[in-house]
Every structure is written in structure tokens, then in C-alpha cells.
């Protein structure tokens, strides 16, 4: 019988990480989720995601793997990626085959206030992950990048061969640094590596600081929505199920070293994971209004530092590599998000959100 491959998912209490773990559970994979559960946003939401995965909050203890009551082949460990000793111990004990590295300090605006949080998580933590994968070789290292790396790029749709050397937020700069760091390890040590540039992911269990969730709460609670650039903002909204489907397909497609006439190409690939269909933020607000049966209070403001007016993913390389094209329309995705959103605040599995 073929041995199951063991998968590490970092950021497993986060939005995308949670859904990836759930997909791996459904596939009956052997998986270890890792998260530090910081307070960048309400930790209750993170614990509720873990509850969905089958983990009891009362059993969580730093550095100790616990098993899921729902799926015994799934474990969770509370661990800080800047804790190199603990991370080394985890890799030594678990001997991972595959790594999906989604843990990071997220958020463009927060990087203006607290850049050191991004240094610790996105640079130091990322370096520790690369080194762990070098010391304990894995078959494939996948990591989360971001559409933010395109910065001041004016060519649309954004393609992975476009230049990304003009980031306009420190968050974007750390994500660009991750790509360069990962490429160097792929080249030097032959680690098969895939970077995934996510485009405005939304859906059930989403992050409260992102537009979809934030606007829904503002409408539901009667608060004002701030729309920058006078509302003339376009985003390539990507539904979470499409993101997870792409991640699962890429997981089994590790890049290989390729020979060229004058050089050897590292086993490293970058892919955009987006819907390939930008939508104006005002249109998303209108869909939320319709779904929540309530009008929004909107404040139109000038462009804010670190932001870009348009994101638009060219996904042809993803389609070529996997045969998969994200396809969920915003109308369908918002409907699914609101179905979860309206239920979440009336029947939480652990405790009422603040």
C-alpha cells in the first residue's frame, strides 16, 4: 500500500490555511497544521476555524502536536516560526514530504504602522522555513505570495513575467523578498518550490480586515464604508474554493530542474491565483447590500498610501500547468459568503464574537 505523504500547512488557523486543511482532511491526507494565533484580528475567529477542523481549544499547548477529533490523521501545533529551535524539532520529528507555507503577517495598511511585525514573520519566519526545508528535504515547498508585489506595474492583466521591483507597501516588499529568497534556495539546494500570488481572496471564514468581510459588517451594523480613490477601485476577487482547488492541484506538481543551452533553471515556479475578472468595489458593495437587504453608508475618499487602483490576474500559466481556471463569479461567491456570515454571528461553535 502506498504511503500517504505528510503535509505541513502553516497558518492553518488563518483564512486560506483553514480551507486548505479542510480540503486535505476531506482527501484523508496526513496533515499537520501550524499557527501562532496572534491578535492581528480577533483570535476567536481563528479558534473557531480550528474547532471546525476538530481541535479542542482547551488542549492547545505551545510546541505540542494534538490530534483532531474529526480526523485523527490531522494534527495541530501552536508554534512561532521565529522560534527556530522549536521549528527544527518539529521538522525532525515529523519528516514532512510537502509544505504549504501560508503563515505570514498580512495586511497592506498595518505594514505602515508596524513594519517590524512583517520583518519578524515574513522575513525571519520565512528564512527559518526555508532552512528547515533544506535541513530536512521536502518534495515540494509551496508558499503564499501576493498580488501586492506588482506594485506600480501598469501592464494589465498582471503576468508573472512582469517586473515586480517597485513595491509600494512594506508588506509587498516582504512578499517580493520571499520570492527572491525562495528562488535562491531552490537554485542552491534543489528544493522544488512554487510561489502563489493570491488575488483578493474572499469567502466563508474570511479575514475581518479584508473588504468583503469588513464591508458586510459595516452594512449589517450601520457603520460607514470607506471607499478610496473616490470608489474607483477594481479588484480581482477570487473565491476561496477556487484558491483551494488551485493549491491542491499545484501541490502534486513539483517543479523540476530544467536544462537550457546556457544555464540550468532552478526548480522554481510562480503562479497567479486570481479570477481573471476585476470588479469595481462599488459593485461588490451593491451585491452585499442586496444580500443583507440593507443600504450602505459610503464615504468616498482620496487614494490611500500603499494602495493600487486595479488588480487583474493573468492565469494562463496556472491553466497550462494544472488545467484549472478559477471560475466562481462574484455574485455567486458573495451569496455563499453571506450565507456563512449571517449564520456565524447567531450560532458560533465556541463563543460569541466581540
Q: Which parts of 58-216 are beta strand (E)?
A: 66-67, 74-78, 98-101, 140-146, 193-198, 201-202
Nearest residue to 55 via CA among 18, 96, 101, 94:
18
Distance CA 238, CA 95 (A): 33
Question: Cell numbers at residue 168, please?
Answer: 509600494
What DSSP character marks residue 57?
Answer: G
What DSSP character marks residue 156?
Answer: S
330-348 pLDDT, tens digit per residue, is: 999 999 999 999 998 765 4
CA contacts within 13 A on the Cβ side of 89: 12
Say what the pTM is: 0.94
Distance CA 206, CA 330 (A): 15
Distance CA 215, CA 55 (A): 30
pLDDT in tens, the chain (354 residues): 356 899 999 999 999 999 999 999 999 999 999 999 999 999 999 999 999 999 999 999 999 999 999 999 999 999 999 999 999 999 999 999 999 999 999 988 889 899 999 999 999 999 999 999 999 999 999 999 999 999 988 888 999 999 999 999 999 999 999 999 999 999 999 999 999 999 999 999 999 999 999 999 999 999 999 998 888 889 999 999 999 999 999 999 999 987 765 556 899 999 999 999 999 999 999 999 999 999 999 999 888 887 788 889 999 999 999 999 999 999 999 999 999 999 987 654 434 333
Class of the CATH-defined domain 6-201+238-275+312-321? alpha beta
Q: Which of 40, 171, 202, 213 is catalytic?
A: 171
Distance CA 46, CA 66 (A): 16
277-336 pLDDT, tens digit per residue, is: 999 999 999 999 999 999 999 999 888 887 788 889 999 999 999 999 999 999 999 999
Name the residue ranges covered by the structural domains of the chain: 6-201+238-275+312-321
Whole-number pLDDT of residue 352 = 39
Give the N- to C-terminal CA distance of the chain in Å, as an integer.
Answer: 48
How many Cβ atoms from other residues are within 10 Å of residue 299's Cβ? 10
Strands 234-235 and 224-227: unpaired
Distance CA 151, CA 133 (A): 29
Name every residue whose Cβ is closer than 8 Å to that of residue 17 and which is 6 or more positions away in sequence: 9, 10, 11, 33, 35, 100, 102, 103
Distance CA 161, CA 127 (A): 24
171 is catalytic: yes
Distance CA 342, CA 79 (A): 32
Nearest residue to 197 via CA among 161, 245, 144:
144
Name every residue whose Cβ is closer than 8 Å to that of residue 116 and which is 6 or more positions away in sequence: none
Nearest residue to 292 via CA among 228, 215, 203:
215
Distance CA 123, CA 129 (A): 10
Nearest residue to 105 via CA among 116, 117, 114:
117
Amino acid at each position: 500500500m502506498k504511503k500517504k505523504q505528510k503535509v505541513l500547512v502553516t497558518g492553518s488557523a488563518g483564512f486560506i490555511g483553514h480551507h486548505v486543511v479542510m480540503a486535505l482532511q476531506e482527501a484523508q491526507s496526513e496533515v499537520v497544521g501550524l499557527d501562532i494565533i496572534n491578535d492581528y484580528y480577533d483570535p476567536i475567529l481563528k479558534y473557531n476555524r480550528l474547532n471546525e477542523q476538530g481541535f479542542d481549544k482547551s488542549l492547545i499547548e505551545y510546541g505540542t502536536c494534538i490530534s483532531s477529533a474529526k480526523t485523527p490523521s490531522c494534527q495541530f501545533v501552536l508554534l512561532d516560526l521565529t522560534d527556530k529551535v522549536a521549528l527544527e524539532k518539529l521538522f525532525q520529528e515529523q519528516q514532512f514530504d510537502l509544505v504549504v507555507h501560508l503563515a505570514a503577517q498580512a495586511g497592506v495598511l498595518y505594514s505602515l504602522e508596524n513594519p517590524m511585525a512583517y520583518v519578524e514573520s515574513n522575513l525571519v519566519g520565512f528564512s527559518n522555513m526555508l532552512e528547515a526545508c533544506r535541513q530536512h528535504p521536502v518534495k515540494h515547498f509551496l508558499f503564499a505570495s501576493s498580488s501586492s508585489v506588482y506594485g506600480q506595474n501598469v501592464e494589465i492583466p498582471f503576468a508573472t513575467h512582469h517586473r515586480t521591483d517597485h513595491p509600494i507597501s512594506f508588506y509587498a516588499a516582504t512578499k517580493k523578498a520571499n520570492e527572491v529568497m525562495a528562488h535562491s534556495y531552490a537554485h542552491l539546494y534543489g528544493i522544488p518550490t512554487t510561489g502563489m500570488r493570491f488575488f483578493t481572496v474572499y469567502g466563508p471564514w474570511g479575514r475581518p480586515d479584508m473588504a468583503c468581510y469588513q464591508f458586510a459588517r459595516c452594512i449589517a451594523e450601520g457603520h460607514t464604508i470607506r471607499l478610496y480613490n473616490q470608489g474607483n477601485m477594481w479588484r480581482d476577487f477570487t473565491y476561496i474554493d477556487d484558491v483551494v482547488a488551485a493549491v491542491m492541484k499545484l501541490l502534486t506538481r513539483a517543479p523540476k530542474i530544467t536544462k537550457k543551452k546556457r544555464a540550468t533553471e532552478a526548480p522554481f515556479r510562480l503562479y497567479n491565483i486570481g479570477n481573471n475578472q476585476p470588479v469595481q468595489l462599488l459593485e461588490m458593495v451593491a451585491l452585499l447590500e442586496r444580500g443583507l437587504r440593507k443600504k450602505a453608508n459610503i464615504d468616498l475618499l482620496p487614494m490611500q498610501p500603499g494602495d493600487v487602483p486595479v488588480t487583474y490576474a493573468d492565469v494562463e500559466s496556472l491553466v497550462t500547468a494544472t488545467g484549472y481556471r478559477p471560475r466562481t463569479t462574484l455574485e455567486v461567491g458573495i451569496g455563499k459568503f453571506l450565507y456563512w456570515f449571517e449564520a456565524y454571528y447567531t450560532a458560533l461553535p465556541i463563543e460569541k464574537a466581540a
